[in-house]
Structure 1
Amino acid sequence: MARPNPPVRLTPEEQKRRRQRSMALALALGIFCILLFAVTLAKLGPGIMQRPL
């Protein structure tokens, strides 16, 4: 039976770069979601609020 690998210890510089990368990915995902929402609203047009329910 194989033994599990010990946990990796990151240096403070590596932790900082990992956090920056995570924040950049979160920001990119947020911008992508907002862009999709805006495109959806643009394709539906302004008359979407005047439709019968």
Structure 2
Amino acid sequence: MSLRKEHEIHNRRKGRNVGVGLLLGGFVVLVLALTMVKVTSTGFSFPETQGTE
């Protein structure tokens, strides 16, 4: 139990921080999912290296 009541601005900042954190987490999950789909697809192949002549 806190001795002082939190100021209104702290509540607003906390809400904004949670929102930014969720967006950042969603972006990371999206990039991870796209990477996994690309790597595990059957058409994935490494680029051909050109031999020296």
TM-score range, shorter chain: 0.5 to 0.7
Higher-Rg structure is 2
Which residue number corresponds to residue 39 of structure 2? 43
TM-score when scaled to structure 2? 0.67
Q: SS of the counterpart of 2:10?
A: helix
Counterparts of 2:9 and 2:30, CA distance in 1 = 32
Which structure 2 segments of 5+ residues have no match?
44-53
Task: Please identify which structure carries the higher helix content.
Answer: 1
- Aligned-pair RMSD on alpha carbons? 1.8
For this pair of structures, how many residues does the alignment match?
42
Relative contact order (alpha carbons < 8 A, sep ≥ 6): 1 or 2 greater?
A: 2
